[in-house]
Amino acid sequence: MKRTLCTLAIATALATPALSAPLELEQDVLTLGFIKLTDMAPLAVAYEQGFFDDEGLFVTLESQANWKVLLDRVIDGQLAGAHMLAGQPLAATMGYGTQAHIVTPISMDLNGNGITVSQSVWDSMRPHIPSQADGRPQHPISARALAPVIEQFNAEGRAFNMGMVFPVSTHNYELRYWLAAGGINPGYYSAQDITGQIDADVFLSVTPPPQMPATLEAGTINGYSVGEPWNQQAVIKGIGVPVITDYELWKNNPEKVLGFSAKFVEENPNTTLAVVKALIRAAIWLDEDNNANREAAVDTLSRREYVGADREVIAASMTGSFEYESGDIRPIPDFNVFFRYNATYPFYSDAVWTLTQMRRWGQIADAKPDSWYDELARSVYKPDIYLQAAQMLVDEGHAEAADFPWTSDGYKSPTPAADVIDGIPFDGRTPNAYLDSLPIGLKGTQTVNDGAVHG
């Protein structure tokens, strides 16, 4: 009997995860900021499912007026951290716009954006888009179908205007990528002209995400690039048609990050780990069992304190499908990805892609060696913190070891040509070769001065 009990005790001990010692938090009361987009979901889930509580954190989630206000409040310490555009920590750290060392120990999602045009623009584009056997448009849709519309605008003396959420947003770079892949120049930035409209065929300007549908309906802009639920809102209102998702543009591309000031992370290493642990758990919850929890997540996100859009609008993309024209609903199970495909790991190569787009359009004014891209990526993205948090979750039985890239050097395998709309592969280890391969954009030592590209 004693031998049986002893054997049982040993077996139980082996089957039970070895719990990590509780973190001694430097701060346990935090305010984290976000913008009202569905990809803030990990923050809402971590709060509602008690994952922050499990880490001993008393968190307040606070929506912010716009991306600039959000960044400024992280810098001055009013927010401990925030849901950020991937370009914000990189731009701030290198001193583009605002100078501050911002770091990210966790990425928040992949995909999740779309490009929408007004109904009238869509009607003009449609004759230039091939049809499937069932009569519906063939996707992905190239920006070449937009070129005749822009020519017509020009012939009538009208500017073709499109909205994007912020100059260093993924939405800006994705819109520019789509346009350039279709032979349309989205314009350049310079130190003297930060509008990004030098030599532009299409004029891009900042429009806050929740205001995009109304601005489109008013005719102030002819299209926009934004995250959900604001593409689906245009469909529901009957004022616009999403022409492409970023999943179709670049399969499983990086989106938002959680940003902290470097000072906060240095002074609060355990608190940072605790936040990252809670968000990894939230990401797992959002993707587990083939998105089984997405309906519950939609209920949460539709609440006023989070995204505050109608439930059906959020569900239209969050639950595995996407609606283009009214009634044209197509399955895109990976439109929003929060944990699959190592979505939460802060890859250096994701940072490098963003930096290449900043250089491509003139936000980085001068040519930089490949080593510069790597060094800046490493100064901002912190996979060592991420993996430390992940190991603690594995030890605690909250995550599976097989789900994390323990041996990664921080760089993904090159993105194959088949995964990008223009068929141009991307290798984060060779950013200058990548820039040289793009048909539109700055290359080599080219610069933008006095309203023109030189070199």
The CATH number of whichever domain residue 386 belongs to comes to 3.40.190.10
Bridge pairing between strands 257-261 and 102-107: antiparallel
Name the band, by pLDDT with cuts 50, 70 and 90, for residue 20.
Answer: low
> Is 156 in the same domain as 227?
yes
> Is 397 in the same domain as 259?
yes
Does any domain span residue 157?
Answer: yes
Does any domain span residue 317?
Answer: yes
> Is 192 in the same domain as 124?
yes
Does any domain span residue 448?
Answer: no
> Is 128 in the same domain as 62?
no
How does DSSP assign 357-413, residue by residue? HHHHTTSS-S---HHHHHHHHHHHB-HHHHHHHHHHHHHHTSS-GGGS-TT--S-PP
**Res. 377: pLDDT tops 80:** yes
CB 302 within 8 A of CB 308: yes
Alpha carbon distance 114, 322 (integer Å)? 10
- pLDDT for the residue numbered 22: 81
Domain termination residue (choose one: 403, 428, 443): 403
Average pLDDT over residues 33-42: 96
Domain termination residue (choose one: 360, 378, 403): 403
- pLDDT for the residue numbered 61: 98
Contacts of 127 (CB under 8 A, 6+ apart): none
Alpha carbon distance 18, 160 (integer Å)? 60
SS (H, E, C) 77-127: CCCCEEEECCHHHHHHHHCCCCCCCEEEEEECCEECEEEEEEHHHHHHHHH
> Is 117 in the same domain as 74?
no
Does any domain span residue 216?
Answer: yes
**Res. 193: pLDDT tops 60:** yes
Percent of the chain exceeding pLDDT 70 equals: 95
> Is 178 in the same domain as 226?
yes
Supply 289's token pair.
């069992």
Does any domain span residue 420?
Answer: no
Name the band, by pLDDT with cuts 50, 70 and 90, for residue 19.
Answer: low
Domain termination residue (choose one: 365, 382, 403): 403
How many other C-beta atoms can be found within 10 angstroms of the C-beta atom of residue 153? 18
- pLDDT for the residue numbered 439: 96
**Res. 14: pLDDT tops 90:** no
Supply 158's token pair.
């009208």
Q: Which residues pair with 163 in a beta bridge?
A: 205, 224
> Is 279 in the same domain as 237?
no
Q: Which has the minimum average pLDDT: 2-6, 398-402, 448-452?
A: 2-6
Task: Dump pLDDT digits (tens) for 320-338.
Answer: 999 999 999 999 999 999 9
> Is 265 in the same domain as 398?
yes
**Res. 17: pLDDT tops 90:** no
Task: Dump pLDDT digits (tens) for 230-257.
Answer: 999 999 999 999 999 999 999 999 999 9
- The domain in which residue 285 lies consists of 24-111+254-403
The three-class DSSP label of residue 240 is strand
> Is 196 in the same domain as 307?
no
User: How big is the CA angle at 146 (ends 143 and 152), to the nearest 5 degrees?
Assistant: 155
Does any domain span residue 199?
Answer: yes
